[in-house]
Structure 1
Amino acid sequence: MNVFTKKITDKDFIGKLIPQKAPFVMVDKLLHFEEKKVVAGLTISEENIFSQNNKFTAPGLIEHMAQTVALYTGYQFFLKEEKAPIGYIGAIKKAEIFELPLVGTELKTTATILHDIMGVTLVAIETECDGKIIAASEMKTVLAN
């Protein structure tokens, strides 16, 4: 099992692990990685396409959650020295947004992998801001062939 404790904050490196490109990148750091769990972060900027009226919008939170899963997959492939595949949100079973975070704050999102079989990954996700859970979701992502 691969586990690391050192944070990866190099945005160029993070950009190589996910298929999304600017201005649609919603993760900027990899905080923790292990076999069935990943923790990603995002510092919300005013320039972010999902920032509106000094807040980060609900669609931005959902996309951030999905890209946290993409980062998990991308880092797995990086460890195997393979190119990361493109993936899609297959389904969102539930998504709860409790609070919209302010521009300038940092999101910390934990995705726990419930099932990962044949390119389909089912995850439970929680997003925190300032130590408080502000969003939760269960989603299924699917890798493109």
Structure 2
Amino acid sequence: MNLLNKTIQEKSVIENLIPQKYPFIMVDKLHHYSETQVITGLKVLATNIFVKHGAFMAAGLIEHMAQSVALHTGYQFFLKNEAAPTGYIGAIKMANILELPKIDQELTTTATILHEILGVTLVQVQVECNGAIIATSELKTVLAN
């Protein structure tokens, strides 16, 4: 299956590319993949566990950013015909939450790999909603052994 040149939004495909399971899935689209970048999406639904008072909480945005990185890693492993590994947020160097998205808004998130060595990945992440940047971060993720 060649997923490089099309948006993937089939729930079962996304769920097989990341280790998280329902109700803790915070990505629902893969728009673009390359070795050094991934562009993901998420439609904020009222049923999302991180929605409170009609808005997607900051913790949800950070988890969405981390799962965007997990989707990048999962797709890398998919290309090698291997199962997606479990990973963790090792550190959040910086996170700026400028706005909380509302129910039914679409997030488009770009994660750019800055460095990747021995299962530790340093990533710069930018989340957009309605054409505006609403969050940025620099994360370090770590793969479990």
In 2, are the aligned partners of 1:3 and 1:34 still within 8 Å (CA)?
no
TM-score by length of 2: 0.97
- Secondary structure of the equivalent of 2:21? coil
Give 2:118's aligned residue: 118
**What is the TM-score of this pair, normalised by structure 1?**
0.97
In structure 2, what is the Cα distance between the partners aligned to 1:4 and 1:76?
A: 11
Aligned residue number for residue 12 of structure 1: 12
- 1:104 aligned residue: 104
In structure 2, the residue corresponding to 1:73 is in which secondary structure?
helix
Residue 58 of structure 2: aligned partner: 58
Aligned-residue RMSD, C-alpha? 1.1
Query: Does residue 29 of structure 1 match 2:29?
Result: yes
Kindly provide the CA deviation profile for residues 64-99 of structure 1, in whole angstroms up to 9, marking residues without a partner as x: 000000000000000110011100000000000000
Percent identical:
62
What's 1:140 paired with?
A: 140
In 2, Cα distance between equivalents of 1:131 and 1:12: 28
**Helix, strand or coil for the counterpart of 1:113?**
strand
**What is the Cα deviation at residue 5 of structure 1?**
2.3
Q: Which runs of 5+ in 1 are unaligned?
A: none
What residue in structure 2 maps to residue 71 of structure 1? 71
SS at match of 1:24: coil
Letter in 1 for 2:101: P
Deviation at 1:22, TM superposition (A): 0.5
Name the count of aligned residue pairs: 144
Q: What's 1:92 paired with?
A: 92
